[in-house]
Amino acid sequence: MGPPASAVPERKGSDPGQASRQSNAIPPPQFPTHNSPRTWFVTHALSPLVVRLIRLLLAHGDYVVACLPPHEMEDDDRSADFRDLVTECKSISRRDREGWKDRLRAIRCDGRESGQCIAAVAEAHSVFGRIDILLCCGCDSIVGTVEELTAGPPVVRNLVRDQFETIFFAHINFIKAALPRLRAQHTGHIIALTSIGGHIGTPGFPISTSATWALEGYCDSLAYEVAPFNIKVTIVQPNKEVQTLTNRIVFAPPLPTTYITTNIATTPTPATTTAAAAAAAAATASTTSVAGTSALPPTAVATTTAVDPDADVDPDVDPDADLPDAPDLPDVPQAPSVRDMLTEVLNANPDTALDPDSTDTIQYRYPRLPPEAIDRLVTETVHALVAIGGHENPPARHIVGFEGSTAVKEKLKTVTEELEDFVEASVAVDIFESELKSEARAGGRRAVESSPAAPGSTTSG
């Protein structure tokens, strides 16, 4: 049980006499500094990342409200780290843990239920008196391509809705429940822990990426709406594997081989263009992606030589003549997919290994990494959250790690180049063939004449 609100140490700007003197005035914005205790409300507290974060916050002297999803608490292995933390807090033999149990409040709460979120926020406010930082950190990763998640039975297609319930709607419920309290305080900080998937699409994670983009778009708009109330909003984006390997992974059944070979065939070509089609297919198949994988599998090349019986055939071409053989294609090694890489990680532990015979069922797994591997994976993100939470001027977005920053920069650079190419292509089209033509060109000349001379320089809109 946490201490009553009256037992919480007085904070800067919370003098009772001062409050009575300003009872009719809007309280001045005041956010606890990093030298003052902060109250954190954590929406999902069972991941190894969040358990390490809570331990660091308690050591700092902060107060923590930890929401525990009931369906995860039922998994003994999933909740083991948090139970160990609770045992630490209750330990009387460790003086460095003194007072932890009074500053930690655990609440069973399913974020997908709006009523439970409202009740959890109300309980947090009644126990600790305020909420300074709302950390939205829940995540599930559904592994499956677009077709794997849409071509299967209804139970598979429902995974799409489940993914949005966990990543998007659950966090929306917590934010809606906390906003009235934050507005009344005239201060607060909302942090959404997502991933660089909010910038970069990942093959094999189409629905997870979609839900992440939805949450980040929501937070971007929310930031403008709550700014007048001195409420800050920050999106923290670690590498994709940080959230994936510390939360539940759901594997959708892979597509059968017969489906793949039937549906990736290109449109059949007439006999008169078979040779050209084969050459084009060879050129396409030899084009590799950034990861070094073949753009088309060999089965697609074979189908390009098919003859359409309904197509018009050149009378000078003998239909019984032997068709030219497709050129030999170099053997390009296939890069492992997301499914392959995650399967390898899970199979490293016998307790989490996937069943190779269950290819037609949905499989759920919580990764179990060695403690030292988890520390290397999440430490940078944990310290970033501690540094950003409660900051007087926090960033709107923070990308954790050099690799993630570099990947996002490259993506944005590509987008910028594409926009510049589009602008050049648009300008090349004569869109002024009207009575506005002379005015547009005259305006362009005036703009050039009024700008300072800069030989060798170009300007792009």
Domain boundaries, the chain: 29-254+361-410, 257-327
Do 299 and 262 touch, CB atoms closer than 8 A? no
Listed in sequence order, the residues at least 6 apart from 197 whose beta carbon sits closer than 8 Å to its beta carbon are: 205, 208, 209, 212, 213, 240
Alpha-carbon distance of 93 to 99, in angstroms, equals 12
What is the number of other CB atoms lying within 10 angstroms of the CB of residue 272? 14
Alpha-carbon distance of 23 to 133, in angstroms, equals 25
Alpha-carbon distance of 167 to 136, in angstroms, equals 9
> Taking residues 193-200, what's their average pLDDT?
90
Over residues 325-350, the pLDDT tens digits come to 656 656 667 788 889 999 999 999 99
- What is the pLDDT at residue 257? 63
What is the number of other CB atoms lying within 10 angstroms of the CB of residue 314? 11
Over residues 377-412, the pLDDT tens digits come to 999 999 999 999 978 899 999 999 888 888 888 888
Give the least confident one: 42-46, 166-170, 386-390. Answer: 386-390
Give the least confident one: 9-23, 169-183, 267-281, 351-365. Answer: 267-281
Phi/psi for 27 (5° steps) reads: -65, 140
Q: Which of 210, 136, 213, 236 is nearest to 179 (CA)?
A: 136
- What is the pLDDT at residue 411? 87
In the chain, the N- to C-terminal Cα span, in Å, equals 60
Alpha-carbon distance of 372 to 27, in angstroms, equals 46
CA 370 → CA 346, 367, 415, distances in Å? 12, 10, 38
Tokens representing 418 are 């594409």
Do 107 and 2 touch, CB atoms closer than 8 A? no
- What is the pLDDT at residue 444? 54
Phi/psi for 87 (5° steps) reads: -60, -40
Asked if residue 64 has pLDDT above 80, the reply is yes
Q: Which of 414, 395, 394 is nearest to 406 (CA)?
A: 414
Listed in sequence order, the residues at least 6 apart from 389 whose beta carbon sits closer than 8 Å to its beta carbon are: 38, 40, 133, 135, 189, 191
Asked if residue 184 has pLDDT above 90, the reply is yes
Alpha-carbon distance of 225 to 176, in angstroms, equals 13
Q: In what order do the strands lie in the sheet with 140-143?
A: 140-143, 248-251, 363-365
Strand pairing partners for 365?
249
pLDDT band at 446 (very low <50, low <70, confident <90, very high): low
Over residues 121-136, the pLDDT tens digits come to 999 999 999 999 999 9
Alpha-carbon distance of 160 to 309, in angstroms, equals 41
As a three-state string, the secondary structure of 370-410 is CHHHHHHHHHHHHHHHHHHCCCCCCCCEEECCHHHHHHHHH
> Which residue's entry shows tokens 């160990």?
84
- What is the pLDDT at residue 297? 39
Alpha-carbon distance of 350 to 16, in angstroms, equals 58
> Taking residues 294-311, what's their average pLDDT?
42
Alpha-carbon distance of 410 to 101, in angstroms, equals 46
How do the residues of the chain divide into helix, strand and coil, expressed in percent and rounded to 5? 50, 10, 40
Residue 189's Cα: distance from chain center in Å?
A: 20
pLDDT band at 153 (very low <50, low <70, confident <90, very high): confident
Alpha-carbon distance of 277 to 423, in angstroms, equals 33
Asked if residue 20 has pLDDT above 80, the reply is no
Residue 65's Cα: distance from chain center in Å?
A: 24
Asked if residue 460 has pLDDT above 70, the reply is no
pTM of the model: 0.71
Alpha-carbon distance of 387 to 382, in angstroms, equals 9
Give the least confident one: 167-181, 221-235, 259-273. Answer: 259-273
Listed in sequence order, the residues at least 6 apart from 291 whose beta carbon sits closer than 8 Å to its beta carbon are: 335
- What is the pLDDT at residue 86? 93
pLDDT band at 455 (very low <50, low <70, confident <90, very high): very low
pLDDT band at 255 (very low <50, low <70, confident <90, very high): confident
Alpha-carbon distance of 195 to 182, in angstroms, equals 25
- Interstrand relation of 188-193 and 133-136 (parallel, antiparallel or unpaired): parallel
- What is the pLDDT at residue 57? 94
More confident: 253 or 301: 253
Asked if residue 227 has pLDDT above 90, the reply is yes
What is the number of other CB atoms lying within 10 angstroms of the CB of residue 210? 18
Residue 387's Cα: distance from chain center in Å?
A: 21
Tokens representing 143 are 């592994």
Asked if residue 6 has pLDDT above 70, the reply is no
CATH 3.40.50.720 fits 29-254+361-410, yes or no: yes
CA 156 → CA 30, 112, 280, 361, distances in Å? 48, 19, 37, 9
> Taking residues 22-42, what's their average pLDDT?
67
